[in-house]
Amino acid sequence: MREAVFSSLGEGVQGARFLDLFAGTGSYGLEALSRGASRGEFVESDRRAIAVLKRNMAAVEKSLGDSAANRVCRVSAMDAVKWRSRDAEHFDLVFADPPYSWFIERGCDIFDIAERARHKCGCTLVFEMPGDRDISCPGWEMRRRLGKRGRGEPAVGIYDRV
């Protein structure tokens, strides 16, 4: 699934600033770094996942070698809904992979967070969701949907701010 996501994003990852919400072990953000993103912030509330995320970050930085020197990543240990941009930093890409139960109850909150995070020139939201659901929000347009439709299947919506 992530391969399809990053193929869809294409050159839009190169030099991008990303926000990885519900980061878990950091797979979306770390993949973005390995594909040339310039900086990012990981938001995760689970301490054990954060420990794994930090180990994964170190491994990716090591594999990137000298090219990692100018890349800045921050880990914010907090509930993703409480996230607020620090230093008026804005992001080009927002990745969101909330637990499916959270998605059903509060999925629209992700669009509000992406709105707070977005760069004035735009923002792409990559939103992982249950395959049997779709979600929309005024001001956002789904550019592409990846994955199978069906209960228990993962899907990803790629949204642009319009």
Per-residue confidence (pLDDT) for residue 35, from 0 to 100? 93
> How confident is the model over 11-23, as pLDDT tens digits?
999 999 999 999 9
Helix (H) or strand (E) holding 3: helix 2-9
Quote the pTM value: 0.89
pLDDT category at 69 given cuts 50, 70, 90 is low
End-to-end CA distance of the chain: 25
> How confident is the model over 94-130, as pLDDT tens digits?
999 998 877 777 878 888 888 878 766 678 999 999 8
> How confident is the model over 20-63, as pLDDT tens digits?
999 999 999 999 999 999 999 999 999 999 999 999 998 888 88
In the beta sheet, which residues pair with residue 129? Answer: 155
Residue located via tokens 């990846």: 146
Q: Which CATH number fits domain 2-6+14-161: 3.40.50.800, 3.40.47.10, 3.40.50.2300, 3.40.50.150?
A: 3.40.50.150
Q: Starting at the edge strand that comes first in sequence, how are the strands of the sheet with 154-161 ordered?
A: 72-77, 39-44, 17-21, 93-96, 124-130, 154-161, 140-147
CA nearest to 87, candidates 96, 74, 97, 77? 74
CA–chain centroid gap for 40, Å, is 9
- Say how far apart CA 143 and CA 106 lie, in whole Å: 21
Find all residues with CB under 8 Å of 21, minimum gap 6, and list them.
43, 80, 83, 94, 95, 96, 97, 98, 110, 113
- On whether the CB atoms of residues 23 and 29 are closer than 8 A, the answer is yes
Find all residues with CB under 8 Å of 82, minimum gap 6, and list them.
none
- What are the helix (H) ranges across 70-148? 100-106, 109-117
Listed by start position, the domains of the chain span 2-6+14-161
Per-residue confidence (pLDDT) for residue 31, from 0 to 100? 95
